[in-house]
Structure 1
């Protein structure tokens, strides 16, 4: 068992509008072999917009991602302007499983949901969602469902 993941009840459910899922998968394909990242905007448990953001890490974008403070601010402002909330973030794991890494665990905040897309040899594969446990010891599973409405903005 991966030490970054907790076995247990589903922490919550997350609904991704189909255009949001399509946008995340497209972003993962375009960024490969690097990690892509972006913001999840919506209300409550319903993501209606995937806002792609630049991966600004200096540690090597093939194994890490970083959302800069400026890009975080842009995502917050975008959500506020649309009368929605910043629900969390997505990123890809090129040629690795869609499971949180130790680095993901070290940099996560407990009030956001994190969507991870596995990209295998350039092709989007599994997509999972996670939320940091309150004690910050591991991630809990978030169940993902897909719907028909929403939008994507780059």
Structure 2
């Protein structure tokens, strides 16, 4: 995945602003290049310090704008400081083709879910200035 530095900074700022709850949003782009981020309120009915749910209105807005073809994945934060998928994340995978970006208050990592392994693998992030 290729991010611009200001996109990484935005995700980190969103994570800090939402702390101690998880932040979340959609990642929009093509061919591994992130074009924009669509932040969402965390509308989870559970404990928002360890769960997230993207507001459906954010996704519907993207579908109206692009037909959803441009959605690469989504981001969320782990306020506990561990930037790796949790068991809760694994249980939430229902679109395995989407990329999961997980942020702490100072780090961002990306993952892809592999159905054959039923597990996540980290994928590299490139940052362009």
Q: What's the TM-score once normalised by structure 2's chain length?
A: 0.90
Normalised by the length of structure 1, the TM-score is: 0.76
Q: Is the 8 A contact 1:56 1:67 kept in 2?
A: yes
Q: Deviations over 1:73-119 (max 9, x none)?
A: 223334x18x971100000000230000011111122110010001x
Q: 1:57 aligns with which of 44, 63, 68?
A: 44
Higher relative contact order (CA closer than 8 Å, sequence separation 6+): 1
Match of 2:107 in 1: 126
1:17 to 2:16 alignment: no
Long gaps (5+) in structure 1: 1-13, 119-123, 149-154
**Which residue of 33, 39, 60 maps to 1:46?**
33
**1:87 corresponds to:** 72
Bigger share in strand: 1
SS of the equivalent of 2:14 reads helix
On the 8 A contact 2:76/2:101 being kept in 1, the answer is yes
Distance 1:72 1:64 in 2: 18
Gaps of 5+ in 2: none
- What's the C-alpha RMSD, in Å, of the aligned pairs? 1.8
SS in 2 for 1:76: helix
Is contact 1:110-1:136 (8 Å) kept?
no
Distance 1:33 1:84 in 2: 32
Q: CA deviation at 1:136?
A: 5.9
2:120 to 139, 146, 151: 139
Aligned match of 2:102 in 116, 122, 126? 116
